[in-house]
Amino acid sequence: MDNKPVLLYAEDDLDDFESLKDAIEQITDNFEILQAKNGTEVISLLEGELAERKPCMIILDLNMPVMNGKEVLVWLKNDDRFKELPIMLFTTSSREEDVKLSQTYKCSFFRKPTLYRDLLHIAQSMLDMCEGKG
Protein backbone atom coordinates (compact mmCIF):
# COMPACT_ATOMS: atom_id res chain seq x y z
CA MET A 1 0.00 0.00 0.00
CA ASP A 2 1.20 3.47 -0.90
CA ASN A 3 2.04 5.82 1.97
CA LYS A 4 1.47 9.00 -0.01
CA PRO A 5 -1.29 11.34 1.22
CA VAL A 6 -4.50 10.86 -0.72
CA LEU A 7 -6.51 13.54 -2.50
CA LEU A 8 -10.00 12.25 -3.24
CA TYR A 9 -11.57 14.01 -6.22
CA ALA A 10 -15.27 13.41 -6.83
CA GLU A 11 -15.68 14.15 -10.53
CA ASP A 12 -17.79 12.38 -13.15
CA ASP A 13 -16.01 14.03 -16.11
CA LEU A 14 -12.82 12.10 -16.89
CA ASP A 15 -11.27 15.05 -18.76
CA ASP A 16 -11.72 17.35 -15.74
CA PHE A 17 -10.28 14.68 -13.44
CA GLU A 18 -7.26 14.08 -15.69
CA SER A 19 -6.59 17.83 -16.07
CA LEU A 20 -6.43 18.38 -12.32
CA LYS A 21 -4.42 15.19 -11.79
CA ASP A 22 -1.90 16.32 -14.44
CA ALA A 23 -1.63 19.77 -12.84
CA ILE A 24 -0.98 18.29 -9.39
CA GLU A 25 1.54 15.80 -10.78
CA GLN A 26 3.33 18.65 -12.56
CA ILE A 27 3.85 20.27 -9.15
CA THR A 28 4.65 17.15 -7.09
CA ASP A 29 4.52 13.37 -7.16
CA ASN A 30 4.06 13.13 -3.39
CA PHE A 31 0.28 12.66 -3.53
CA GLU A 32 -2.02 9.91 -4.69
CA ILE A 33 -5.07 11.26 -6.53
CA LEU A 34 -8.15 9.03 -6.50
CA GLN A 35 -11.32 9.55 -8.50
CA ALA A 36 -14.87 8.91 -7.39
CA LYS A 37 -17.37 9.31 -10.23
CA ASN A 38 -20.27 10.28 -7.95
CA GLY A 39 -21.16 10.83 -4.32
CA THR A 40 -21.98 7.23 -3.55
CA GLU A 41 -18.48 6.25 -4.71
CA VAL A 42 -17.03 8.85 -2.32
CA ILE A 43 -18.86 7.24 0.59
CA SER A 44 -17.93 3.72 -0.53
CA LEU A 45 -14.24 4.68 -0.73
CA LEU A 46 -14.28 6.44 2.65
CA GLU A 47 -16.00 3.52 4.36
CA GLY A 48 -13.93 0.89 2.53
CA GLU A 49 -10.53 1.33 0.93
CA LEU A 50 -9.86 4.68 2.67
CA ALA A 51 -11.27 3.81 6.09
CA GLU A 52 -7.81 3.40 7.61
CA ARG A 53 -6.10 6.17 5.66
CA LYS A 54 -8.34 9.14 5.32
CA PRO A 55 -7.70 11.54 2.47
CA CYS A 56 -5.96 14.78 3.38
CA MET A 57 -8.60 16.56 1.28
CA ILE A 58 -11.79 15.89 -0.63
CA ILE A 59 -12.50 17.81 -3.81
CA LEU A 60 -16.15 17.83 -4.85
CA ASP A 61 -17.71 18.65 -8.18
CA LEU A 62 -21.25 19.84 -7.47
CA ASN A 63 -22.91 18.37 -10.56
CA MET A 64 -22.59 14.59 -10.52
CA PRO A 65 -25.05 11.77 -11.17
CA VAL A 66 -26.49 9.46 -8.48
CA MET A 67 -25.45 11.64 -5.52
CA ASN A 68 -24.24 15.18 -6.21
CA GLY A 69 -21.54 17.21 -4.48
CA LYS A 70 -24.00 19.11 -2.29
CA GLU A 71 -25.42 15.87 -0.90
CA VAL A 72 -21.93 14.49 -0.27
CA LEU A 73 -20.87 17.71 1.47
CA VAL A 74 -23.84 17.52 3.85
CA TRP A 75 -23.16 13.82 4.50
CA LEU A 76 -19.46 14.47 5.24
CA LYS A 77 -20.15 17.40 7.57
CA ASN A 78 -22.75 15.37 9.50
CA ASP A 79 -20.40 12.42 10.05
CA ASP A 80 -18.01 12.80 12.99
CA ARG A 81 -15.37 10.74 11.20
CA PHE A 82 -15.11 13.19 8.31
CA LYS A 83 -16.48 16.58 9.36
CA GLU A 84 -12.99 18.01 10.01
CA LEU A 85 -11.54 16.96 6.62
CA PRO A 86 -10.69 19.87 4.32
CA ILE A 87 -13.21 20.00 1.50
CA MET A 88 -13.09 22.06 -1.66
CA LEU A 89 -16.03 22.61 -3.96
CA PHE A 90 -14.55 22.69 -7.46
CA THR A 91 -17.22 23.47 -9.99
CA THR A 92 -18.29 25.34 -13.10
CA SER A 93 -21.07 26.94 -11.07
CA SER A 94 -20.96 30.59 -10.10
CA ARG A 95 -24.40 30.54 -8.49
CA GLU A 96 -24.60 32.58 -5.31
CA GLU A 97 -26.35 29.73 -3.48
CA ASP A 98 -23.39 27.42 -4.21
CA VAL A 99 -20.93 29.99 -2.86
CA LYS A 100 -23.11 30.36 0.24
CA LEU A 101 -23.20 26.58 0.64
CA SER A 102 -19.40 26.55 0.83
CA GLN A 103 -19.47 29.32 3.42
CA THR A 104 -22.14 27.56 5.48
CA TYR A 105 -20.08 24.37 5.61
CA LYS A 106 -16.73 26.16 5.92
CA CYS A 107 -15.13 24.72 2.82
CA SER A 108 -13.22 26.27 -0.05
CA PHE A 109 -14.92 27.20 -3.31
CA PHE A 110 -13.14 27.44 -6.65
CA ARG A 111 -14.59 27.74 -10.13
CA LYS A 112 -13.02 25.44 -12.68
CA PRO A 113 -10.68 27.62 -14.73
CA THR A 114 -10.38 27.69 -18.49
CA LEU A 115 -6.64 28.40 -18.49
CA TYR A 116 -4.13 25.72 -17.48
CA ARG A 117 -1.94 28.21 -15.57
CA ASP A 118 -4.97 29.05 -13.41
CA LEU A 119 -5.53 25.35 -12.83
CA LEU A 120 -1.92 25.08 -11.64
CA HIS A 121 -2.54 27.87 -9.09
CA ILE A 122 -5.66 26.09 -7.79
CA ALA A 123 -3.80 22.76 -7.67
CA GLN A 124 -1.09 24.44 -5.57
CA SER A 125 -3.78 25.78 -3.21
CA MET A 126 -5.17 22.27 -2.84
CA LEU A 127 -1.73 20.90 -2.01
CA ASP A 128 -1.13 23.70 0.49
CA MET A 129 -4.44 22.90 2.21
CA CYS A 130 -3.56 19.21 2.26
CA GLU A 131 -0.09 19.79 3.70
CA GLY A 132 -1.43 22.29 6.23
CA LYS A 133 -3.67 19.56 7.65
CA GLY A 134 -0.87 17.06 8.24
Query: Is 1 domain-assigned?
Result: no
In the chain, alpha helices (H): 14-27, 39-47, 69-77, 96-104, 116-133
Show the domain range for 62: 6-133
Query: Is 15 domain-assigned?
Result: yes
| 54 closest CA partner among 42, 63, 66 | 42
The alpha carbon of residue 126 and the mean position of all alpha carbons in its chain are separated, in whole angstroms, by 9
At 134, the pLDDT band (50, 70, 90 cuts) reads very low
Does residue 1 carry a pLDDT above 50? no
Mean pLDDT of all residues belonging to the chain: 90
Query: Is 19 domain-assigned?
Result: yes
* CATH code where residue 62 lies: 3.40.50.2300
- Give the C-alpha separation, 70 to 75, whole Å: 9
